[in-house]
Amino acid sequence: MSSNLNDYEARPRRDFIKMSLMAGLALAIPKKSEAVLKRFLPKSLMSISPIQILSDDQFASLDFNGDNIDRPHDVLWNLDGYLVKKGGIPAPTEKRKVVVVGGGMAGLISAYQLRDLNPIILEQDKHFGGNSKGETYKNATFSIGAAYITIPDDGDDIDTFLKEIGIKEELKLEEPDITKFTYKKSMMTEFWKGASDPARASEFIAVDAELRRIYNDAYPDIPWTSDSAISYEEYLYLDTITFEKWLELKFGKVHPHIAEYFQLYCWSSFNGSIEELSALQVLNFVASEVDGVLALPGGNAAITQRLMEKVDAATTPGSVRAGAFVVRVQRKPNGLIWVTYEDAQGVMKTIETQSCVVASPKFVAKLIVPGLPEDQVKLMDDLSYRGYIVGNAIFNHPVKSPSFDIFCFEGEKPEVPMAMSQSKRPFSDVCFGTWAADDQTQNGVLTVYRALPYDGGRQFLFNPLAHDKHKNVILSGMKDFAAAVGVNFADLKGMRMTRWGHSLPVASRGLIQSGYLDRMSRPFGGNIFFANQDNWANPAFECSFAAAKVATDAVKKLF
């Protein structure tokens, strides 16, 4: 291939960016071993960090980790009664310019972007990170939630952010050419070249070409901006149709393997089916991955871990607070805000602040922010969220990763599941948990994604038998998967099960086009701002970043 400058200029801009990124990311990956975490983390952060270090006997779970359901349910289901029981709202004992409520990805990004204002960040869980948490067993660090990000454009806000927090050069690129999948109990590659049905390869190639065209020339940014590659009218139109309808309009009846891929992809990424999801939302996800994805040891928990460290270093000691359950974000007549929370010891405290970023999900925000307009509360109330399970299979020995993420095909698209008619698929895909660490670990880890892509699924997660039931389902499918990818299932050491009860907002068609999400997430009182992935019903790091940026830009204008 010629390296003449004119050749590069003839390429689409995104292709040029990816070429430079692929070269720049071919670096050694620092290993986040237990020793490294202990050496660099302040002692005060060890117990609350997004990446938790497991003891030698914690290679298997007896119950779900992940969501801490008891305290939130006890408090939020009868919040007024709980406040009476606790003696009401106490007077403020401290003041800050900014308080951030919620220590997930959007909350930590918000606190980082506002670090010059010395914010307090309050997280109700014992650990920061939200759905972007991880665990370390011996020297294997793996994700128990969000696992990867997409490749940012060189010099854009996310690229600049990743450089600022010192994590860009730790990202490892999975190039699309090495992506593999299982089919008929065997591992295959080159899905988009028709490997599973060579006689109809042209159908796969056509879909892949269209996704690449969209990525390079017509990418649907969420949220839309004046710099977006498509018009606002095109953007809104894509949100009025389902992804299934988009496929039909573009390609007619697609190959059953292609339909199966997109169904499994949407279960894994959105916790929904192609029959219900917005074409805009799905294309925003799937087109962004045509040149590969970026991952870290511990998945996106490595990002929340780094952010927590940066925020702690930039703020007054004690500003990063876990176990801090916010019960009220109340705007007072003088325009100031009282943020009241119960600390880890059960003591109620109030902070007086000039502005607040509420980075909790909207089903929490509607309960803790009194005085919101009725229509806004109704919108927050009606947005659907679904449950999700992540299983981490830990093996006695290192595992050689053939790729980062492998989808599991059976040859036909699974039907839309319902609470009383659930899918028989044990999981949609499996990530190799030590891939980003170049498999230089004592133990191999396979991270299994088992979505519950139907309304009502999470209610079954609270049954005392749910842990063992879902664990056994995953293990039954793991035997065949392990055989297909060359892993000895007999060497399984244990399985850790993570439950996320309300993890993903459902990106149904029409939520953006109708203005639903804009109205739901609008600021309150001029100094209370909402920042969460559900601002756009899009469960991506990139949309958490966008929501945090909108909120923090507004906060900065107040000072």
Has residue 243 been placed in a domain?
A: yes
Do 75 and 131 share a domain, yes or no?
A: yes
Do 278 and 392 share a domain, yes or no?
A: yes
Has residue 151 been placed in a domain?
A: no
**Residue 320: strand pairing partners:** 121
Give the domain CATH number at 550: 3.50.50.60
Do 402 and 538 share a domain, yes or no?
A: no
Has residue 11 been placed in a domain?
A: no
Say how far apart CA 72 and CA 485 lie, in whole Å. 40
Do 286 and 332 share a domain, yes or no?
A: no
Tokens of residue 556, six digits: 């900065």
Angle between helices 541-556 and 157-164 in degrees, nearest 10: 90
Do 373 and 389 share a domain, yes or no?
A: no
Has residue 22 been placed in a domain?
A: no
Residues 135 and 392 sit within 8 Å (Cβ to Cβ): yes
Pairing of strands 445-451, 385-395: antiparallel
What pLDDT score was predicted for residue 450?
A: 95
Residues 50 and 121 sit within 8 Å (Cβ to Cβ): no
Tokens of residue 421, six digits: 């008619």
Do 315 and 452 share a domain, yes or no?
A: no
Of 463, 480, 505, the residue that ends a domain is 505
Give the angle 236-241-247 at the CA atoms, nearest 5°: 120
DSSP 160-182: HHHHHTT-GGG-EEE-GGG-EEE
Residues 106 and 359 sit within 8 Å (Cβ to Cβ): yes
Do 279 and 415 share a domain, yes or no?
A: yes
* Domain total in the chain: 2
**DSSP designation for 309:** H
Q: Which residues contact 542 (CB under 8 A, 6 or more apart)?
A: 149, 150, 158, 288
E strand intervals along 292-347: 293-295, 320-322, 325-331, 337-342
Residues 361 and 385 sit within 8 Å (Cβ to Cβ): yes
Say how far apart CA 394 and CA 491 lie, in whole Å. 9
Do 460 and 353 share a domain, yes or no?
A: no
What pLDDT score was predicted for residue 41?
A: 63
* Residues lower than pLDDT 70 in the chain: 1-43
**Residue 149: strand pairing partners:** 294
Do 261 and 405 share a domain, yes or no?
A: yes
Do 308 and 365 share a domain, yes or no?
A: yes
Has residue 56 been placed in a domain?
A: no
Residues 271 and 237 sit within 8 Å (Cβ to Cβ): no
Nearest CA among 351, 310, 296, 305 for reference residue 328? 351
Of 480, 505, 530, the residue that ends a domain is 505
Pairing of strands 293-295, 94-101: unpaired
Q: What is the Cα 46 distance to its own chain's centre? A: 22
Do 193 and 264 share a domain, yes or no?
A: yes
Give the domain CATH number at 399: 3.90.660.10
Nearest CA among 398, 392, 390, 391 for reference residue 491? 398
Has residue 149 been placed in a domain?
A: no
Provide the residue range defining the domain that includes 481.
176-291+385-505
Pairing of strands 134-137, 140-143: antiparallel
For residue 25, give Cα distances in angstroms to 141, 151, 183, 277, 432.
20, 11, 31, 33, 19
Residues 455 and 386 sit within 8 Å (Cβ to Cβ): yes
Has residue 23 been placed in a domain?
A: no
Do 480 and 416 share a domain, yes or no?
A: yes
Residues 295 and 148 sit within 8 Å (Cβ to Cβ): yes
Residues 146, 148, 150, 156, CA torsion sign:
positive
Has residue 28 been placed in a domain?
A: no
- Residue matched to tokens 């990139």: 542
Tokens of residue 354, six digits: 């000039």
